[in-house]
Amino acid sequence: MKTIVSGLGVIIVFILNLLIHNSIINLTSRATELNLAINNAMVETQRVLYDKSYTITNSEEYLAEFTQNLVQYMNSNSDITIKVYSADEELGFLDVGVISSYTNFAGEKREYEERRTSIIDEISNKDFNEDYLKDRFFISFQVKNDVKVDLSGIDFFVAKDSKNKSLEIPLTSGTVHSILFNGEGAGSYSFITKEGKNYIVIQLNELKSDMEITIQ
């Protein structure tokens, strides 16, 4: 009888540990997804405002553009709620919070929230802005598996005439097994350490158009 009870105890502890482990991985994955989605959506929304893909005339259209861009980068089954703190299409100022709600393996409701503020300074010579964007490719990112990176200081616009161009992206956690360009093909990359921080160095020598980089 004692053996049976002990065995059941071990099984219960194992199941609890498994649930906790899965819950942590699930939260980390959703946090990474939301972080990347907001970053990419912010950049694409501001780009539309200046390259005039179409005209944004009011804050509702400004927010609709952000929402559309955000949704395309969300792949999980989370429910998304957007909090609007400020939106001014004339100044190019957008301040939003995004809440990702989901149910974990134990059936419990969980939420993760990210807030971003983006502003484009008013420049009198707007032709300069349009020319600037036309001469550059736009880079977006997807990060998968257990990898976590910091994109806060990354320039999403790369000059078309750049040679030997590379991106140094801080690697926060996880192991990188491959880099994909537009979902296919092995991208060239390496690792460096600076001031105690690990970085992924992605080579962009073959950059010929806008590109989505997948880090996995």
Per-residue pLDDT for the chain (216 aa), expressed as one digit of tens each? 555 555 555 565 544 454 444 444 455 777 778 888 888 888 888 888 877 777 888 989 999 999 999 988 887 778 889 988 888 888 788 888 898 888 776 677 888 888 887 776 543 334 445 566 677 787 877 777 778 888 767 777 788 876 678 889 989 888 888 888 887 776 789 999 998 999 999 988 767 788 888 888
According to the model, what pLDDT value does residue 123 have?
Answer: 36
DSSP type of residue 200: E
Q: How many CB atoms lie within 10 A of CB 71?
A: 11
Q: In whole angstroms, how large is the CA radius of gyration of the chain? A: 21
User: Could you tell me whether strands 211-215 and 136-143 are parallel, antiparallel, or unpaired per DSSP bridges?
Assistant: parallel
